[in-house]
Structure 1
C-alpha cells in the first residue's frame, strides 16, 4: 500500500517500474509499531490521553487513517477478502454498541461485587460518575479497537510480497525474544529490567516491573502488564518463531543458530516461567496444531526430544514443572477457577438488560463492577450477542485464511507459515476464555496482528517466493 503512484520507466528502456521515493514503506512502519508495542512497557502512555495513549496505539490509529485515505484515493490495490468484511462488521458492531450504551445509559446492580474485590470498590458511586466513567471507557475502546483494526489492515494490505512478510515476522520474533530474555532474568533474580525503560513525554499509569510469585517462584511479566499476558503473547508468537527456526534464510551454520534457533529457544524457555494456566493451555494448542501438520520425521523428533527436554527443565528449573502440574491437578478447587465460574450468573443478569448490542466496548469497568477473567463473557456483556458473534467470527475467518494459505502455498516454507499462523490464531482464541485479553494492550494488539498476517498470507498464497540475495 502506498500513498503515491508508481513512476513508470521511460519508454523504450525496458526497465521495470520504479516506486516513487516519496512512498511510505508500510513494512518498515510495521516494524516500528512492533518495537513500540513489544519493547515498551504497557504502562507508558501519553498522560493527556490516558491508558489508550500508548505510542503503539497512536501509531495504529495513524495506520487506520492512512488506510482509509488510501482506500478513498484508490491507492489500495489489494482485493477485498473475507478478513476485510469480518473487520468491517466488527467495527460497525462496536460503534453500534457504544451508541446503544449512550442511549440506554449504564447501570450498576447492587449485587455485582464479589468478596475478593478490593475494599475501595464497595464505596457507593453516583449515576453521574458511572455515566462519565463509562463514556470515557467507551471512547478508550473506540481508540484501542480502531488502532488494532488499523494494524490488521496495514499488515494485510501494506505487505506486498513474501519477502516483506518474512522481514516483519523476523523482527517480531527477535523483539519477542528480547521480551523473553528480560523475563528469564526476572525469573531468576526477581528484578524486572523493564522498570528502567523511560521515554520522554510518556508517564506510567501505574508501577512498572512489579514482580509477583506463585509457590515461591517468580512469575515473570517483562514489558507486559501481567504474567498471563506475557505468557499468552509469547505463546501465540512462538509458532512463528518455530517457523523461522525450521525454515532459516541465514547463510552458514552459526548464523542459522543465532538468527533462528536462539529466538525460538528463548521464547520457548520463557513461556512456562510465567506460571500461567492460560499460557500452558495455549502452548498445548499450538503444539497440537503444529504436530498434526508436520511430516512424520519431524513428529518422531518431537516425541524423541520431549522426555529429555522435560528432564533437563526439571533439573535446571526446580519446582517449575511441579507448580505447573499443580495448576491443573487442583481442578475446580483452585480459587482462580472458582472466581471465574462465579462470574456467570452475575454477568448474565447485566447482559439480559441489553442482549443484542450490549453497552459498549471497555465500559464494563472492574472498579465499578467486578474483574472478569474471560474475554468471551466481556464481549457478550459489552457488545451483546451480535458483537460476540462478530468477535468470534474474525477468529474463524483468520483461521480459515491461514489454512487456505497452507493448502494453496507454492512451497513447503509457505505452507508451513500458514500452519504456524493457524496455530497462533487458534491458541489466542482459546485464551479468550481464560482471561480478559482486550484489557491487555499487547494481547489485543497481537491478536489483530495475527489476523492481519492471515489476510496477507491469503493474498499472496498463489504468489511464488521472491528471489533472495545470496548473502
Structure 2
C-alpha cells in the first residue's frame, strides 16, 4: 500500500495536454511511506516498549502498539475504498483467516452482551474487542499493504532487529539481575501493573525482557529465531554482509535460553520439524552443527542452564507448574459445557475474579465456544498454508525459503496455545497477527511472480520468426 495524495492529472496552464502523474514523478523522487512503514513502527513499539505500559488517560487499558494497530486498521479501510492507493485486493487465505476469527469474536461478543453482564466483565469484553481490532488492523495492513518482496523483507528484518534488542535486554536481566525496563517508561504512559520482569525458577533466574512473562519472551524468541537465521543464510548466499544477522540470531537464541521456558523449546522443535522437511541435507547438517556449537557456548557461559532445561522435560509429570496448570481443567470443562457453541462472550472471563487457565484452547472455548476455538486454529492454519503455498508457487529461492520459514514459524502459536494463555499476552499476540499478515503478503508476491511467468510464456513460445531461405 503506497498512499499517494497526488491528483490523477493536472490541468494545463498553456492549452497543451494535461500533465499526468507519470510526467511529474521526478518531483516526488524517493520512497514513499506505505504499509511496511507503519508495520516497522508497530514492531519497534510492540517489542521495545515494556508490556506493562499503557496510554495514560484512556478508559481502556490500551498499549501504544494497539494505537498504531488501530491507525493501521483505519488506513487499510481507506485504501480498500479506493482503487488508486495501491492496496492489494482479491482473495487471500491469510486475510480470510483473520476475518473468520474477527467474525467469531464479533458473534460471541453480541451473544455475550445480549444477556446481562457485570460491569467489570462488560468493560473487559469491550477492551478485548478493541485490542482485537488493533491486531486485525496490523495483520490486514501487512497482508494487503506490503506488496513487494523488498518491503516485506524490511518488515521482517525490523522484527529480527527488535527481537535481538529484547534479547540483549533479557541477557542483561539474566546476567546482572538489573531490570533496565524501569528506565523505559515514556511520557504519557503509565504502568498497568507493578513491573516484574525478572523471576526465579529454583536456583536459575528467568527473565521476560520487555514482555509480560518469561514464557511469552521465550515463545517470541522461538518465532523470530528461524527468520533471523533465514536472513543470515540469505545474506551469505548473495555475498552480502551476514555477520550482523548471525549476531541477531545469536542474541535471539540467547533470549530464548534465558527465558527458561518449556513452551519456547516445544515451539522451536515444532518449527524445526517443518524446516528440516524442506531443507537440503547440507543445510540440515549445518544447522545441527550451529545448534551444537551454540549449546556448547551456553553450557560454558552459563553453567547449569542446560541442566535446568533438561529437568523441565525429565520431570514433566511431577513438575509442580504442570500440576498447577492441569488441576483446574474440570472447572474449565464445566464452564465450556454451559456455553458450548458460542461461548460466554469474548473477553468476558475476568481473570481477577475467575480462575486463570494456562491453556489458550480452553480459554478460547470458554470465551468463543467450540466454533470459535476451531476458527482460532483455522486462522493459524491458513497462515501456515499461505506460507507453504507461496513456496510452491514461486521459483525464487528466497521466496521459497521464506515461505517455508514463515509457514513453520506459525506452528509456534499453535503449540504454545496448549501451554499458556497466549492471547492474554499482548506482545506475542501482536507478533502472531503481524506474521499471519506477512504470510499473506508473501503469497501475493508469489502469485504475482507466477502470473508474470505465465504471461511471458506465450511471448517466448511465439518468438521472432526467421524467414525461410531457398
Q: TM-score, normalised by structure 2?
A: 0.88
Cα distance, 1:14–1:101 mapped onto 2, change above 3 Å: closer
Structure-2 residue corresponding to 1:263 = 248
Report how far residue 17 of structure 1 moved.
Answer: 8.6
Is 1:102 matched with 2:89? no
Hey, what's the Cα distance between the residues in 1 that align with 2:272 and 2:191?
36
Q: Deviations over 1:199-253 (max 9, x none)?
A: 1110111222441111221101111111011111111111111111110189877
Hey, what's the Cα distance between the residues in 2 that align with 1:447 and 1:286?
14
Report how far residue 310 of structure 1 moved.
Answer: 2.8
Report how far residue 407 of structure 1 moved.
Answer: 1.4
Runs of 4+ in 1 over 3 A off after TM superposition: 2-24, 73-77, 249-253, 303-309, 462-465
Report how far residue 424 of structure 1 moved.
Answer: 0.9
2:108–2:368 contact (8 Å) kept in structure 1: yes
- Aligned match for 1:150, one of 127, 133, 137: 137
Is 1:404 matched with 2:389? yes
Q: Deviations over 1:326-370 (max 9, x none)?
A: 111112211221122222211111112211111222221221111
Is 1:213 matched with 2:200? yes
Cα distance, 1:455–1:20 mapped onto 2, change above 3 Å: farther
1:429-444 correspondence to structure 2 within 5 Å = 429-444=414-429
Cα distance, 1:308–1:39 mapped onto 2, change above 3 Å: closer
Q: Deviations over 1:114-144 (max 9, x none)?
A: xxxxxxxxxxxxxxxxx11110110111111
- Aligned match for 2:80, one of 71, 79, 92: 71
Is 1:39 matched with 2:48? yes
2:100–2:379 contact (8 Å) kept in structure 1: no
1:232–1:278 contact (8 Å) kept in structure 2: yes
Cα distance, 1:78–1:334 mapped onto 2, change above 3 Å: same
Hey, what's the Cα distance between the residues in 2 that align with 1:257 and 1:397?
34
2:391–2:404 contact (8 Å) kept in structure 1: yes
Structure-2 residue corresponding to 1:113 = none
Q: TM-score, normalised by structure 1?
A: 0.87
Cα distance, 1:20–1:233 mapped onto 2, change above 3 Å: farther
Hey, what's the Cα distance between the residues in 1 that align with 2:346 and 2:277?
36
Q: Which runs of 5+ in 1 are unaligned?
A: 107-130, 466-471
- Aligned match for 2:155, one of 157, 168, 181: 168
Structure-2 residue corresponding to 1:25 = 34
Cα distance, 1:6–1:162 mapped onto 2, change above 3 Å: farther
Is 1:300 matched with 2:265? no
- Aligned match for 2:173, one of 175, 181, 186: 186
Cα distance, 1:179–1:19 mapped onto 2, change above 3 Å: farther
Hey, what's the Cα distance between the residues in 2 that align with 1:5 and 1:351?
50
Structure-2 residue corresponding to 1:459 = 444
1:418–1:457 contact (8 Å) kept in structure 2: yes
Structure-1 residue corresponding to 2:461 = none
Hey, what's the Cα distance between the residues in 2 that align with 1:2 and 1:201?
30
Hey, what's the Cα distance between the residues in 1 that align with 2:216 and 2:427?
7
Give the greater-gyration-radius structure (CA).
Answer: 2
Structure-2 residue corresponding to 1:116 = none
Cα RMSD over matched residues? Answer: 2.5
- Aligned match for 1:416, one of 395, 398, 401: 401
Aligned residues: 439
Q: Deviations over 1:164-192 (max 9, x none)?
A: 01111111111110000010111111112
Deviates more, 1:18-27 or 1:372-381: 18-27
Report how far residue 305 of structure 1 moved.
Answer: 4.2
Report how far residue 304 of structure 1 moved.
Answer: 3.7
Cα distance, 1:284–1:16 mapped onto 2, change above 3 Å: farther
Q: Deviations over 1:85-130 (max 9, x none)?
A: 2222221221111121122335xxxxxxxxxxxxxxxxxxxxxxxx
Report how far residue 308 of structure 1 moved.
Answer: 4.1
Q: Secondary structure at the match of 1:45?
A: strand
2:88–2:145 contact (8 Å) kept in structure 1: no
- Aligned match for 1:91, one of 67, 77, 102: 102
- Aligned match for 1:239, one of 201, 226, 229: 226
Q: Secondary structure at the match of 2:338?
A: coil
Q: Secondary structure at the match of 1:461?
A: helix
Is 1:198 matched with 2:209? no
Structure-1 residue corresponding to 2:65 = 56
Structure-2 residue corresponding to 1:369 = 354
Hey, what's the Cα distance between the residues in 2 that align with 1:275 and 1:341?
20
Structure-2 residue corresponding to 1:450 = 435
